[in-house]
């Protein structure tokens, strides 16, 4: 993917990593703003393969040039670039890490901001302070300990595994994540400090006691929202989608409050990464909806209206004309969205 020109498709769009006709790795951008009339744009420049990229909910991409070790943030909307400290030869951020920013970055941000990357299957967070008065000017690898979880007994034996953070959502300069019995909080002063807020889990819909829940946090207007999909796994291995719910955090009351209206906005979800949001009408999307890609481990895009009718949703296949198996799908978001 080139870093010298804006993305040639309207944002938001989907970024699909897949296998080409000749077995080579490929990346394709998919415009979803025109309903089922999907527009595709191939990004198959071999030179771009030396870059690792991590999308963020702010519409900026954290990029790492594996040949020079340089890191930078790149705006998909304007091609503006913010240089960050390079990684050292001993440092490496895994490709499937989840990235977030403490706030909207600008080159003239005197207060500074923090870039964070979470390793999805380890107790490691990478962070870098940009601007401001922070003493640390390079990338720091922070290993945390939130205790262990014991798995059910199998063949008379139980297993213990470390608890780890899978993704972070920034609100008011703090990073939030799902934690057992509440809401986990990561903040920097400037060293990382882990904490928690006791917030009861949301209730499952009536009559769905056997469901599983897919959870993700989204920031909207300086508030934290929880987006959840209710799933049922059949005996034969099939997955049924029972519905989707959106909840706003009442920090004073330490509880989740169900909402049915987010105005002219759309929430955009995808597996393993973040939840983001954008202006709906200006982006060609349906307002007051959740767009969830790959919810059931498939290549389908599900669109849920946030109107209290949890069981209603549309199913679309934006990958139907893309060759080869898909290994990853993530949203590209506009960086100038208010």
The structure tokens 């109107």 sit at 307
| Residues linked to residue 227 through DSSP beta bridges, in sequence order | 216, 246
250-276 pLDDT, tens digit each: 999 899 999 999 999 999 998 766 678
* DSSP summary character for residue 58: T
The predicted pLDDT at position 63 comes to: 94
The helix (H) or strand (E) run that includes residue 171 is: strand 169-171
Those residues whose C-beta lies under 8 Å from the C-beta of residue 162, and which sit 6 or more positions away, are 123, 145, 146, 147, 148, 149
* DSSP summary character for residue 102: S
The predicted pLDDT at position 301 comes to: 92
154-170 pLDDT, tens digit each: 666 767 788 889 889 99
CATH number of the domain located at residue range(s) 13-332 in this protein:
2.120.10
In the chain, what are the domain boundaries? 13-332
**pTM tops 0.85, yes or no:** yes
Half-sphere exposure of 251 (CA within 13 A, CB side): 10
The predicted pLDDT at position 333 comes to: 87
46-93 pLDDT, tens digit each: 555 688 989 999 889 999 999 999 999 998 778 889 999 999 999 999
Rama region for 69: left / alpha / beta (φ>0; ψ in -120 to 50; rest)? left
pLDDT band at residue 204 using 50, 70 and 90 as cut-offs: confident
């Amino acid at each position: 993917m080139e870093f010298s020109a804006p993305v040639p498709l309207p944002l938001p769009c989907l970024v699909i990593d897949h296998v080409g006709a000749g077995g080579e790795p490929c990346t394709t951008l998919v415009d979803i703003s025109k309903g089922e009339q999907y527009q595709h744009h191939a990004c198959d420049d071999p030179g771009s393969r030396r870059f690792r990229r991590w999308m963020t909910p702010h519409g900026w991409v954290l990029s790492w040039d594996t040949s020079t070790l340089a890191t930078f943030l790149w705006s998909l909307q304007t091609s503006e670039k913010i240089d960050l400290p390079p990684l050292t030869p001993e440092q490496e951020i895994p490709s499937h890490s989840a990235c977030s920013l403490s706030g909207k970055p600008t080159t003239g941000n005197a207060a500074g901001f923090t870039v964070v990357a979470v390793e999805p299957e380890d107790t490691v967070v990478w962070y870098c302070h940009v601007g401001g008065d922070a003493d640390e000017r390079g990338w720091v690898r922070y290993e945390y300990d939130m205790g262990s979880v014991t798995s059910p007994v199998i063949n008379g034996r139980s297993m213990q595994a470390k608890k780890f953070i899978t993704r972070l959502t920034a609100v008011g300069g703090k990073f939030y994540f799902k934690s057992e019995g509440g809401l986990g909080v990561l903040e920097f002063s400037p060293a990382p400090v882990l904490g928690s807020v006791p917030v009861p889990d949301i209730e499952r819909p009536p009559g769905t006691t056997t469901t599983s829940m897919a959870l993700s946090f989204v920031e909207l207007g300086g508030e934290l929202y929880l987006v959840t999909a209710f799933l049922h796994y059949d005996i034969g291995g099939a997955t049924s989608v029972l519905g989707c719910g959106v909840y706003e955090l009442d920090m004073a009351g330490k509880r989740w409050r169900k909402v049915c209206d987010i105005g002219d906005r759309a929430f955009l979800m995808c597996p393993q990464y973040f939840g983001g949001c954008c202006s709906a009408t200006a982006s060609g999307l349906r307002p007051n909806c959740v767009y969830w890609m790959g919810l059931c481990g498939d290549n389908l895009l599900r669109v849920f209206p946030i109107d209290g009718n949890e069981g209603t949703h549309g199913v679309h296949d934006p990958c139907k004309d893309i060759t080869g198996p898909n290994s990853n799908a993530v949203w590209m978001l506009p960086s100038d969205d208010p």
